[in-house]
Structure 1
Amino acid sequence: MSQTTTLPPPVPAPAPRRTPGGAGSPTVVAHRGASGHRPEHTLEAYRTAIRMGADAVELDLVPTADGALIVRHESELSRTTDIGARPDLAHLRRTRPLGGVPRAGWFSEDLTLAQVRTLTARERMPELRPGNTVHDGREGVPTLDEALATIHAEGVRAGRRVGVLLELKEPARFAARGLAVEGPLLAALARHGLDDADAPVAVLSFEEMVLRRLALRTRVPLVRLLDVGDDAGAAALEEIASYAGGVGVHQDLVVPRARSGRARPSVLVRDAHRRGLGVHAWTLRAENRFLAREHRRGPHPGGLGDVAGAAGALLAAGVDGLITDHPDLVLPAVRARA
């Protein structure tokens, strides 16, 4: 006969840490504002997202030549501003590595803040979002301070606390040019009263080292971003949990796209939650071009598909938040599961 052994009760897994904006239910984060409806990273894109009900707004940060933090998806400015039509700034055109690939254009790190303030914003994907182009030229390029003040003011009008997710774009490249972003970022958070663990803010990056440095300098939640092809296995998540409170992952890492039929979720969310990491999936866009086959509707790449269905698949996989260009279309999917 085998000897009976009394086992201790199992230790529960730690609750996943959530990024700002939600209160129990999954968080809906407006990616660069309501960028499906307004040119991205404009103050009106942020206001529109909050009026639609978004829990939080995602901002991307890059520096100017004089060290100011501005809000742009990337430091090359020709796709999102009118700089290409500015002969007085033509001499600043350069070729620089962007995401490791040489790119010709005008870069924020070559312009002073005063020069950036002369630019106007425009739609980045006019072929897919022609309706957004009617807003071209109406606004400038916001600084981090202006964006934080606008989001706070709009949250006050809405009578609720709106979260902010701040992504640091290529911080190592900027630091190598003497434009380290951590100091200006932490100073801005302090100015706006967002420099403690309970503030509705988180800092995100694809780069591990900047997050490790920030972990020694701030109590603000940190989030490691992971793209398709990055290591999202259990050991990698264990390491991330040593310096960050969450992961922001490409949606295909949560629900890989199937060649036929419907895709099945991966174990990423389960493994992250076991390590106390919250999981936000990015980026949900409503246009067919960005959706898996089963969620497309009609043949046109710019036609709107079933983004609510795509959101539902990610919610069923257990994600803690969805980052989207179309908060108005994703919010109903979240509320339906509440």
Structure 2
Amino acid sequence: MERDHAEHPLVIGHRGAPGYRPEHTRSSYELAFALGADAVEPDLVATRDGVIVLRHENEISGTTDVATRAEFQSRRTTRVIDGVELTGWFTEDFTWAELATLRARERLGPLRQASASFDGRYPLMRLRDLFEVIERASEEQGRMLRMVAEFKHVTYFDGLGLPLDELFAAELDAAGWGRGDERLIMEAFEPTVLDRLRDLGVRGQRVFLIEGTGAPADLVAAAAPGAEPALPYDMFATEAGLLGLAGRFDGVSVGKARLVGPMPRRRSGVDGVLTGAELVDAAHGAGLAVFTWTLRPENRFLAPASRRGSVRAAWGDWAGEFGDVIDTGVDGVFVDHPDLGVIAREESQA
């Protein structure tokens, strides 16, 4: 690896390049780097035997062919995950050897028929497989490429005896990444796992994900009965909340609606919630980098002013919206189509 060509903001392939290939597959990640991504983002969940696998959620009926597999029909069950009841098939009920027999499917098939045309072609991936993809692409491109690892449902997995932070640290060691370095960014909606990663000596930026509604699951679980409720996510999007994160974390990541709107109607009751460039400026003032998710070109995901026509799968004025997000001064953007993120960055710098 000769040099770091990363520009500002980072273009992060959200689960690879799922606009073109089913997410979290080797093909999706390799394509993301080929299209110019500076980093890719895997979602981390665990198997029954403690292997970290890459899936959007631990419930996998929407992203694999598990529902069609006769040998696994008895595994269908109902679980409560972070307070939400879900019925389906869950990674923690499978060994890696069993999951390795499944094939990936496009999660947004009706909207992304081109990606869905690859359904059934690719197996699932482990975290250790992605380390290899990143290293190979870095060597081929002669630049440092990064991983933005998202830890999913940490408190839930803790309750099963599957601590994602400890499993992750072991995977780093096994992959030869030591305890992490500048190639690694870690993010989570649950702040305490980021603290635990620091305590384990895992190096790399730690980024707190600020959801649009609700409160962090770990804080909710830790709140004593009858005590004050857990701080809502909105509290962390105020000037005081951002200052409270300073020195603890390296950055925050917010949903696109906090930057270009419209924000969902808030029920948190928090005053002084920041949006747009004011949020980014306040975070930077507190010494925090700012990332945002997810930039997508389809009308279904664009703000109303950027939509063109009434077809949900059609592409609207993605360039305008992507540019508006970048102009807020963010440090990284998560995109489903990495090439579009690169184009938007280039146009904003012209």
**Local SS of the residue matching 1:29:** strand
Give the structure 1 partner of residue 227 of structure 2. Answer: none
Match for residue 28 of structure 2?
45
TM-aligned CA deviation for residue 62 of structure 1: 0.1
Q: Distance in 2 between matches of 1:34 and 1:334?
A: 17
Distance 2:7 2:31 in 1: 23
Q: Matched residue of 1:152: which SS?
A: helix
Equivalent in the alignment of 1:145: 128
Structure-1 residue corresponding to 2:216: none
Partner of residue 50, structure 2 = 67
Matched, 1:307 2:318: yes
Does residue 159 (structure 1) correspond to residue 146 (structure 2)? The answer is no
2:65 — aligned with what? 82
Per mean C-alpha deviation after superposition, the further-off stretch among 86-95 and 192-201 is 192-201
CA distance in structure 1 between the aligned counterparts of 2:84 and 2:65, rounded to whole angstroms: 23
Partner of 1:92: 75
Provide the residue aligned with 1:200 in structure 2. Answer: 183
The aligned counterpart of 1:254 is 259
Alignment of 1:169-188 (within 5 A): 169-188=152-171
Question: For 2:111, which of 108, 128, 144 is the aligned residue?
Answer: 128
Matched with 1:291 is 302
- Contact (CA 8 Å) 2:257, 2:263: kept in 1 or not? no
For 2:268, the equivalent position in structure 1 comes to none
Q: Is the 8 A contact 2:45 2:58 kept in 1?
A: yes
> Which residue matches 2:40?
57
Residue deviations 1:278-334, cap 9 Å, x none?
Answer: 001101111100000121122100001122211111111111111010111121110
* 1:239 equivalent in alignment to 2:244: yes
The one of 17, 25, 28 equivalent to 2:8 is 25
Find the counterpart in structure 2 of residue 104 from structure 1.
87
153-162 or 322-331, which deviates more: 153-162
Quote how far apart the aligned CAs of 1:258 are: 8.0
Q: Secondary structure at the match of 2:150?
A: strand
Aligned to 1:220: 204
For this pair of structures, how many residues does the alignment match? 314
- Give 1:154's aligned amino acid: A
TM-score by length of 2: 0.86
What is the CA distance between 1:238 and its match in structure 2? 1.9
Following the alignment from structure 1 to structure 2, what is the Cα–Cα distance between the partners of residues 107 and 133? 22
The residue type paired with residue 228 of structure 1 is G
**Unpaired runs of at least 5, structure 1:** 1-20
Query: 1:147: Cα distance to partner?
Result: 1.3
1:96 and 1:45 map into 2 onto residues whose CA distance is: 29
The higher-RCO structure (CA 8 Å, 6+ apart) is 1
Matched AA of 1:71? L
TM-score of the aligned structures, taking structure 1 as reference length: 0.89
Checking the alignment, whether the CA contact within 8 Å between 2:293 and 2:333 is kept in structure 1 is yes
Taking the aligned partners of 1:292 and 1:179, their CA distance within structure 2 comes to 39
> What SS does structure 2 have at the residue aligned with 1:323?
strand
Structural RMSD (CA): 1.7
Q: Which of 338, 341, 350 matches 1:330?
A: 341
Q: Secondary structure at the match of 1:184?
A: helix
Q: Which residue number corresponds to residue 290 of structure 2?
A: 279
Asked whether the 8 Å contact 2:306–2:316 carries over to 1, the reply is: yes
C-alpha change, 1:147 and 1:23, in structure 2 (3 Å) is closer
Q: Describe the SS at the equivalent of 2:305.
A: helix
CA apart distance, 1:95: 0.4
Deviates further, 212-221 or 70-79: 212-221
Distance 1:34 1:144 in 2: 17
Unmatched 5+ residue regions in structure 2? 214-232, 265-274
Deviations 1:32-76 (A, max 9, x none): 000000000000000111000011100000000011000000000
1: CA distance between counterparts of 2:318 and 2:312? 14
Deviations 1:100-121 (A, max 9, x none): 2111100001111111111010
CA contact (8 A) 2:307 2:317 kept: yes
Residue type matched to 1:255 in 2?
V
CA distance in 1, matches of 2:252, 2:102: 34
Report the equivalent of 2:219: none
